[in-house]
Structure 1
Amino acid sequence: MPSEGRLPKIYTAPIASPSDVPAAAISSMIDRRGIHQARLADTVRPELGPATSADPISALALGVVISRQLEREQPHLVLHALRQGSSWSEIAMALDTTIAAAQASFAEWSQQLPSAERTMARELSTAAGASS
């Protein structure tokens, strides 16, 4: 737990590459990236201070980490959608892709699951295919 009155590292760490981004919730990373973008846009927010040469680099690095994290979470969200009864048509629309591409990506990801979970994922996928 952070000390009282001290900002979490995500708000204070110098960030020049993705490896510099401290572990934090995606929402905190997005917030920090927004601070850099606001300074670069010269948004009237005196509390942020003026833009620096580090702002675009920090924003880029944070964007990479956010993107990677969201990509890692995507198959898990597809699994949750299948468990909740979503069709492949709905999932493909949410992913802005084709049904075949969404199914193929999920099938590839599910291969790394333990046997029982892989079987369950396959069954959910088949059932969702029937409702598409």
Structure 2
Amino acid sequence: MSTDAHKHWRDLRVSRPGDVPPATPLMWLAEKHQEHADRLTSSLLPHAAERATVADALAVLALREAVRREMEYGRGAHVRDALRFGATWNEVAAALDVTPGEARNVLRTWAEAQRHLYTASEERGEQPLGLSAEQYAAVLALTELADDAQPA
């Protein structure tokens, strides 16, 4: 992202998760969150240099929710990446602290959403985003691997 984009982000008021532009780097979210959280924390001190406002409290809530959503959304893509690089379902499940079946559901749910994104953008005449039919089939094939099998 450019320096102008970062300046725009720093100046942007966030009071809802939807105020966060798509593809905003997590580091930027964390930095903005920390600035607001620091004001909230320091306002507890008797001689705080800067007083927190309702905008700070709302920004902390909204930014935390935006980070949570981004982290949740990215789980499936990262499961796919782990498998693509040779992890087994047992290893993926351990990394997520879930069962292999639950890990497969994470990937399946993500793939379904990505396939829907692709078809919806295609129907609108836009450059398709998400998974094509072939990519979707390849991801679903990963869910059929045995728990201890490494992808080919």
Question: TM-score normalised to the size of structure 1?
Answer: 0.78
1:30-62 residue CA offsets vs partner (Å, 9 max, x unmatched): 110011111212189xxx943222111101011
Question: For the structure 1 residues 10 and 128, does the alpha-carbon distance in structure 2 shift closer, same or farther, using more than 3 Å as the test?
Answer: farther
Count residues in correspondence.
Answer: 127
Conserved 8 A contact 1:40-1:55: yes
Distance across 2 between alignment mates of 1:128 and 1:82: 12
- Alignment-derived partner of residue 28 in structure 2: 28
The RMSD of aligned alpha carbons is: 2.7
Offset of 1:104 from its aligned partner?
2.0
- Alignment-derived partner of residue 65 in structure 1: 66
Offset of 1:67 from its aligned partner?
1.4
Offset of 1:9 from its aligned partner?
2.3
* Gap runs ≥5 in structure 2: 116-130
* Gap runs ≥5 in structure 1: none
- Alignment-derived partner of residue 37 in structure 1: 37
Q: Which moved more, 1:27-36 or 1:62-71?
A: 62-71
Distance across 2 between alignment mates of 1:98 and 1:130: 13
Distance across 2 between alignment mates of 1:42 and 1:120: 51
Conserved 8 A contact 1:82-1:128: no
Question: TM-score normalised to the size of structure 2?
Answer: 0.69
Distance across 2 between alignment mates of 1:118 and 1:16: 36
1:81 aligns with 2:82: yes
Distance across 2 between alignment mates of 1:126 and 1:20: 39
Q: Given residue 25 of structure 2, which amino acid in structure 1 is its aligned partner?
A: A
